């Protein structure tokens, strides 16, 4: 195998692929990046068995073949090269690869490629989702997925799409995010899958980098394959019954409080600095105003009052400060609505003019 490419191109593609390199797998091959040169060009692949990434590399191929190289080291090494052109050539007798750039020369030992997994094929007629809609929905919803592997079904995002509508749902049992999106065109079929949030966040990052019009989706028996431009991402699907999110959303609320989004976010950020050691963020509503407060013993306390279109008997409710702040960040528009029932029932954040996005957050019981 022998090919020549630009250092900038190699660094760019390795920065994408290396995100699928395993850092803790017992199988050595999963710590590597597979470089394959053929008549069609050079392909880079990496996988940790949960997620795989593949992309092409613009290059001039002088010899075909494939090698598996240490992924992290290869990415770091190429970033350090000082010349614009890089030449990579395998040396079978030495069982290594020579990397030449300007006056620099490096030799990397080849990893055993026998255990490197095969990548799934894409469908001949995949589903297609507009890239901007997909990326924006992922950004709003994926943060609400659980990071606790003890409940794997909650570490994913339930994605359903049919016709010209797509819905994404994620919950960690303490908060719930739901985003419904009207698509400009039909996706060409139906989609329903619980996709790992990590893989979707990576897909969103790729979509913003590749600047593609749409993303193709191939659903296999237990995997999904996404193509965004030159980059292909495959991920396992999460098995198990995802919670019925419609049952988690209250049917009615006692208070709908309209609030300026930017001001509420600024106040929340300031006051939350004093909500340490799992201390709650206190929201105290009285006619015409909202007081946001936090207190941590041996650290200090904070309090700030802002106008609020609240009517009725005073109400005080506590939330996890990070969860509440992320909910405010996720709602688009100059204003938002905070819907409340009681101090022990969840609160809902949503835009003023529609319910296409809803962010439900569980309260924290306050000590009087």
**Percent with pLDDT over 70 in the chain:** 99
Equal CATH topology for 2-109 and 127-245 = yes
pTM for this prediction:
0.94
CATH of range 127-245; options 3.30.2020.30, 3.20.20.70, 3.40.1280.10, 3.10.150.10? 3.10.150.10
Q: What is the pLDDT of residue 158?
A: 98
Q: What is the pLDDT of residue 211?
A: 85
Q: What is the pLDDT of residue 216?
A: 96
Share the mean pLDDT of the chain. 96
Under the banding of pLDDT at 50, 70 and 90, the label for residue 367 is: confident
What is the four-CA torsion angle of 14, 16, 19, 25, rounded to 10 degrees? Answer: -50
The domain ranges of the chain are 2-109, 127-245, 250-364
Under the banding of pLDDT at 50, 70 and 90, the label for residue 12 is: very high
Query: Are the beta carbons of 291 and 304 closer than 8 angstroms?
Result: yes
pLDDT beyond 80 at 36: yes
Query: Are the beta carbons of 5 and 57 closer than 8 angstroms?
Result: yes
pLDDT beyond 80 at 25: no
HSE toward the beta carbon, residue 360, CA cutoff 13 A: 22
Give the mean model confidence (pLDDT) for residues 226-249.
96
Residue ranges of the alpha helices (H) in the chain?
A: 7-17, 71-80, 131-141, 197-210, 245-248, 261-272, 321-330
**Percent with pLDDT over 90 in the chain:** 94
The CATH code of the domain at 250-364 is 3.10.150.10
Q: Map residue 106 onto helix, strand or coil.
A: strand
Report d(CA 29, CA 149) in Å as an integer.
24
pLDDT beyond 90 at 209: no
6-to-60, 81, 158, 206, 316 alpha-carbon distances in Å: 10, 11, 40, 21, 60
Q: What is the pLDDT of residue 165?
A: 96
CATH of range 2-109; options 3.30.70.1400, 3.40.50.2020, 3.90.110.10, 3.10.150.10? 3.10.150.10
Q: What is the pLDDT of residue 23?
A: 85
* 309-350 residue pLDDT tens: 999 999 999 999 999 999 999 999 999 999 999 999 999 999
Q: What is the pLDDT of residue 75?
A: 97
Report d(CA 157, CA 146) in Å as an integer.
10
Query: Are the beta carbons of 73 and 107 closer than 8 angstroms?
Result: no
pLDDT beyond 90 at 118: yes
DSSP string covering 66-103, please? Answer: EEEEEHHHHHHHHHH--SSEEEEEEETTTTEEEEEETT
Closest CA to 205 of 23, 20, 76: 20
332-to-137, 260, 272, 357 alpha-carbon distances in Å: 12, 11, 21, 9
Q: What is the pLDDT of residue 274?
A: 98
């Amino acid at each position: 195998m022998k090919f020549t490419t630009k250092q900038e191109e190699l660094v760019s593609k390795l920065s994408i692929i290396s995100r699928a390199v395993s850092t803790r797998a017992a199988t050595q091959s999963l710590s590597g990046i597979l470089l394959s040169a053929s008549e069609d060009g050079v392909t880079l692949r990496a996988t940790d068995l949960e997620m795989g990434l593949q992309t092409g590399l613009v290059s001039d191929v002088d010899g075909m073949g494939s090698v598996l190289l240490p992924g992290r080291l290869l990415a770091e090494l190429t970033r350090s090269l000082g010349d614009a052109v890089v030449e990579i050539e395998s040396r079978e007798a030495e069982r290594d690869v020579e990397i030449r750039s300007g006056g620099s020369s490096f030799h990397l030992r080849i990893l055993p490629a026998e255990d490197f997994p095969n990548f799934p094929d894409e469908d001949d007629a995949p589903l297609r989702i507009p890239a901007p809609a997909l990326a924006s929905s992922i950004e709003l919803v994926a943060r609400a997925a659980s990071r606790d592997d003890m409940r794997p079904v909650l570490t994913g995002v339930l994605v359903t799409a049919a016709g010209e509508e797509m819905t994404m749902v994620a919950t960690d049992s303490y908060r719930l995010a739901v985003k419904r999106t009207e698509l400009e065109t039909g996706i060409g079929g139906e989609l329903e899958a619980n996709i790992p949030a990590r893989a979707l966040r990576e897909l969103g990052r790729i979509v913003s980098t590749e600047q593609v019009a749409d993303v193709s989706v191939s659903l296999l028996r237990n995997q999904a394959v996404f193509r965004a431009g030159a980059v292909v991402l495959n991920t396992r699907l999460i098995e198990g019954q995802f919670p019925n999110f419609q049952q988690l959303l209250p049917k009615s609320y006692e208070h709908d409080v309209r609030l300026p989004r930017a001001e509420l976010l600024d106040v929340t950020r300031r006051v939350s600095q004093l909500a340490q050691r799992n201390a709650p963020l206190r929201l105290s509503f009285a006619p015409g105003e909202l007081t946001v407060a936090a207190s941590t013993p041996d650290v200090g306390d904070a309090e700030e009052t802002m106008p609020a279109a609240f009517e009725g008997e005073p109400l005080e409710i506590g939330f996890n400060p990070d969860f509440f702040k992320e909910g405010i960040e996720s709602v688009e528009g100059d204003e938002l609505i905070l819907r409340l029932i009681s101090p022990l029932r969840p609160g809902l954040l949503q835009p003023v003019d529609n319910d296409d996005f809803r962010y439900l957050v569980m309260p924290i019981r306050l000590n009087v």
